[in-house]
Amino acid sequence: MDMVNGVLNWVGTTAMVASLLLFYPPYYLFKTCYSFLSWLFPEDLTGKVVLITGASSGIGEQLAYQYALKRASLALVARRESSLQQVADRALELGARDVIVLPGDVSAPDDCNRFVQTAISHYDRCAELIYLVLQDINFWGSVQTTFAALPHLKRSRGRIVVTASATGWNPVPRMSFYNVGNFFFHPLRQQDFISACWDFETLPVSCTELGSQVGITVVTPGWIESEMSKGKYLKEHGEVEVDQEMCDAQIGLFPVEYDKNCAKAMVQAAQQGERYLTVPAWFRAMYLWRVFAPEVVEICYRLLYMHGHGARQADTASRTMAESGGKQLLYPTSLRSEEIKSD
């Protein structure tokens, strides 16, 4: 076996690289032509039913507005009913055919079943296309919502648009990974969030009865304007806290994309039947660095994110550069204000 593996390590790697070089040009040409045709003839969303979780703020809120501009019918889900109602009112003004507000917690299986069934009963359009747009950091919430909606998605040949995390293939250091709950998410929740990308990728294969009846669009955003990029996070027992300094240290000199631009790109990718989307597009280059020069990436992370012994976790070079002008140049105005939704 050692000899066989040794031969395969050399021959197999060489053959794989050679075949990739031969295969990629025609494949890329096909993808380009397909994308161009899909751009010319996008799917008409007028009257289609779109269920969006996490719709009370950030990307989820902007998705509601973008689908409203496409004349879709919306079902908006989040825990904050008052914020949801404001989003619903604005969506109707922008042209949504109909909007229903469904307060609920996607981490609760009963809630997932309730808001999916309520949306189906309200619209009574199982024959129409249903878009399920999952905007939640809790992996099991996405799984439970998908499970509840899957029979209807299959019947209507719908599409799941799931937001995972670009850190699934380009992990960024978490300064407080070992200090549970001090930054962004509980580490287990963060790991769930990252793994969502891979689990939804394999759904059409692992779920054999699904086949090609339900489309999948996996979105891996970089840093996007949101409550999280303002430093709002959940502590270990679900308490909400805001730590802008730690968030600035995490983002550093990474440009932050507007949530509106991210939502617009997501809707367009779903209309065109795209399987993958990274927002902003330049962030995909980070993957190449990670694959071909991992040592360089590690050195950069050490220089940017490590802090001296006894220093505060936020006292890093990345935060210093952000405070020295990077934040004014590279962050949206909303991230430079102290206002944040607290309900």
Res 209: pLDDT? 54
For residue 131, pLDDT beyond 80? no
Is there a single domain that holds both residue 100 and residue 116? yes
Q: Are 132 and 159 in contact (CB under 8 A)?
A: yes
Residue-wise DSSP of 243-294: -HHHHHHHHTTPPPBPHHHHHHHHHHHHHTT-SEEEESGGGGHHHHHHHH-H
Q: Are 117 and 51 in contact (CB under 8 A)?
A: no
How many helices (H) does the chain have, and how many strands (E)? 13, 9
Res 180: pLDDT? 34
Is there a single domain that holds both residue 194 and residue 262? yes
Is there a single domain that holds both residue 195 and residue 98? yes
Has 178 been annotated as catalytic? yes
Q: Which domain holds residue 33?
A: 1-41
Q: 259-288, pLDDT tens digit by residue? A: 999 999 999 999 998 988 999 988 888 888
342: in domain:
no
Residues contacting residue 296 through CB under 8 Å, at least 6 positions apart: 289
Res 106: pLDDT? 82
**pTM, full prediction:** 0.80
Total tally of structural domains belonging to the chain: 2
278: in domain:
yes
Q: What is the CATH number of the domain that holds 183?
A: 3.40.50.720
H or E, element range at 295 = helix 294-305
Is there a single domain that holds both residue 22 and residue 63? no
* DSSP summary character for residue 208: T
For residue 188, pLDDT beyond 70? no
Q: 21-51, pLDDT tens digit by residue? A: 888 888 888 888 888 888 888 888 898 999 9
% of residues, the chain, pLDDT over 70: 73
256: in domain:
yes
Residue of 343 and 258 predicted with greater confidence: 258
Res 323: pLDDT? 85
343: in domain:
no
Active-site pick, 65, 123, 178, 287: 178
Place of tokens 């799984």: 143
Res 61: pLDDT? 93
Is there a single domain that holds both residue 24 and residue 105? no
Q: 303-316, pLDDT tens digit by residue? A: 888 776 656 666 78
Is there a single domain that holds both residue 25 and residue 137? no
